[in-house]
Amino acid sequence: MGDVIEAPSVPRAGTVRPEAGRSAALSVSNVSLVYAGGRGREVVALDRVSLDVSPNEFCVIVGPSGCGKSSLLYLIAGLNEATSGQMAVNGVSVHEPGPDRGMVFQGYTLFPWLTVRQNIEYGPKRQGMSAAERSGIVDRYLAEIGLTQFAEHYPAMLSGGMRQRVAIARALANDPGVLLMDEPFGALDSQTRATMQKLLLRIWEQHKKTVLFVTHDIDEALLLGDRVVVMSARPGRIKAELSIALPRPRSMDLALEPDFIALKRRILDLLRDEIDEEH
């Protein structure tokens, strides 16, 4: 993943395609992606995937490793081109990356030459926000991720979990309409993970964002999501969608409720089938 340096295609004003999910903030229809790996090494990463995410919905994707979750997020972010199919954000079809779709990557992607403060400030600065406005936003996010004292540190001086928190703040500070998150809490210890989940839920409830969130952790999926999408591996397809009607605000106390346990069992069964098929 991630050998995508070129922003595909010419910059061009998006064409409005009202037929594709009129009410969807994010609509993916019949998208396939084949990686051309050279002779006999083609990988069908995604096979006719369709997914509509409504405005302000928190949609979670779970699936076995290598099923194309990251690939799907890269496509929506406009960082890679689908082999076939269409994608649209707020009715505007996706041809190139843009600040309307923020992304937290699976690996570390902080800019090593910028301090924590400058990293978080990067997006607002690109958008031409004034220095005073920027510093207000940065200070707020620094406080929220608990790294105010590390504002002037370079990423190399931070722990893995601290870096990922900065990456999340960097994406949020840019205030994107759609937030794509690729296992953002995967590297965090369980306490920090719980704090970050709470923070994310609070921000999502306050700022009303459309979120597409990838995770391996089913508890996390059920804690966060309005809907959980289960993918199958090779070729990556959408296997099932579960709507999560658990009451909000949620906390991990839910984990003992029968509804939660029933949902968890269904997702586990769906995933177990996948893994059995692999072997």
Partner 1 sequence: MAQDLAMEAPGSRSRAEASPAGQAPARRRSRTWTPFAAPSSSQNFVLASAVWALIAGCWAALSYGGVVSSMFLPTPTAVFERAVAMIGDGSLLTHALSSVQVVMIGFALSSLVAVPVGLWMGTYAPVRAAIEPVVNFIRYLPVTSFVPLFILWIGIGLQQRVTVIVFGVFFQQLVMVADSARGIARDLVNAAYTLGTKRSEVVWHIVFPATLPAILDMLRVTAGWAWTYLVVAELVAASSGLGYISLRAMRGFQVDTIFLAVLTIGFLGLVTDLFFRLLRRKLAPWAM
Residues interacting with ligand ATP, by CB under 6 A?
A: 1, 3, 35, 37, 43, 45, 63, 65-71, 106
**68: partner contacted, choices Mg ion, partner 1, ligand ATP, none (Cβ within 5-8 A by kind):** ligand ATP
As measured in angstroms, the least distance from the Cβ of 63 to ligand ATP is: 6
* Chain residues that interact with partner 1, rule: CB under 8 A: 2-7, 11, 74, 77-79, 96-99, 101-103, 105, 107, 109, 111-114, 122-123, 126-127, 154-156, 170-171, 174, 176, 180
Does 215 contact Mg ion by CB under 5 A? no
As measured in angstroms, the least distance from the Cβ of 245 to ligand ATP is: 26
**14: partner contacted, choices partner 1, ligand ATP, Mg ion, none (Cβ within 5-8 A by kind):** none
- Residues 4-63 binding Mg ion (CB under 5 A) are none
Tokens 């689908």 — which residue? 82
Q: Which residue from 83, 103, 87, 85 is spatially nearest to 2, judged by alpha carbons?
A: 103
Our CB check for Mg ion shows the closer of 70 and 232 to be 70
Cis peptide before 258, with omega less than 30 degrees from 0? no
**127: partner contacted, choices ligand ATP, Mg ion, partner 1, none (Cβ within 5-8 A by kind):** partner 1
Tokens 């990293």 — which residue? 119
Residue nearest to Mg ion (CB): 70
As measured in angstroms, the least distance from the Cβ of 31 to ligand ATP is: 13
Backbone φ, ψ for residue 241 (5° rounding): -130, 130
As measured in angstroms, the least distance from the Cβ of 41 to ligand ATP is: 8
Our CB check for ligand ATP shows the closer of 53 and 61 to be 61
Q: What CA–CA distances, in Å, run from 211 to 61, 134, 188, 194? A: 11, 23, 20, 18
- Report strand pairing: 178-182 vs 210-214: parallel
**225: partner contacted, choices Mg ion, partner 1, ligand ATP, none (Cβ within 5-8 A by kind):** none
**235: partner contacted, choices partner 1, ligand ATP, Mg ion, none (Cβ within 5-8 A by kind):** none
Stretch 93-132: interaction string toward Mg ion, x if CB under 5 A: -------------x--------------------------
- Report strand pairing: 237-243 vs 92-93: unpaired
Within a 13 Å sphere around the CA of 263, how many CA atoms are in the beta-carbon half? 24
Return the DSSP state at 185.
T
Contact assessment for residue 145 and residue 199, using Cβ atoms and an 8 Å cutoff: yes
**227: partner contacted, choices partner 1, Mg ion, ligand ATP, none (Cβ within 5-8 A by kind):** none
Cα-trace Rg, the chain: 19
Contact assessment for residue 69 and residue 106, using Cβ atoms and an 8 Å cutoff: no
Tokens 């968890």 — which residue? 264
Cis peptide before 249, with omega less than 30 degrees from 0? yes
Our CB check for partner 1 shows the closer of 40 and 128 to be 128
d(CA 78, CA 278) in angstroms, rounded, equals 30
Note the residues at the interface with Mg ion (CB under 5 A): 70, 106
